[in-house]
Amino acid sequence: MGTVDDHLAGLDPDDRAAVDRVYSIARELVPDTEQGTGYGMPALTYRGKPLLSVMRTKKHIGVYPFSRDAVAVAAPRLVGFDLDKGTIRFQPDTPLPDDAVRAMVSARRDQIADG
């Protein structure tokens, strides 16, 4: 897998906008992220650790914050979305709420910072 930018470049416009929106919120909250990988997926990294990956799969867009706890923090704001231990799934026409993305990214950032 390539970089976040490579993944975005290969998406159709609706998917690209939905994926990029989540990454934009993450970059706003954690401006010193870098592009890298996490578990083989293109990801934003923070302090050398994976912060967030957002990828288009065959059936949905998956958000992977590399942390069950980060998903749990956002879960109350994600009623009606498909959640799993470390994954949030959505469709471009039903984007994740900004406050849920912020809660998840902040929780993951804090986990990494507390190291």
Average pLDDT for runs of 10 along the chain of length 115: 88 96 98 95 97 96 97 97 95 97 98 93
Cα separation, 115 vs 96, whole angstroms: 27
pLDDT, position 2: 74
Domain residue limits, the chain: 4-114
CATH class name, domain 4-114: alpha beta
Distance of CA 42 to the CA centre of its chain: 10
Query: What pLDDT was estimated at residue 86?
Result: 92
Residue 103 is predicted with a pLDDT of 98
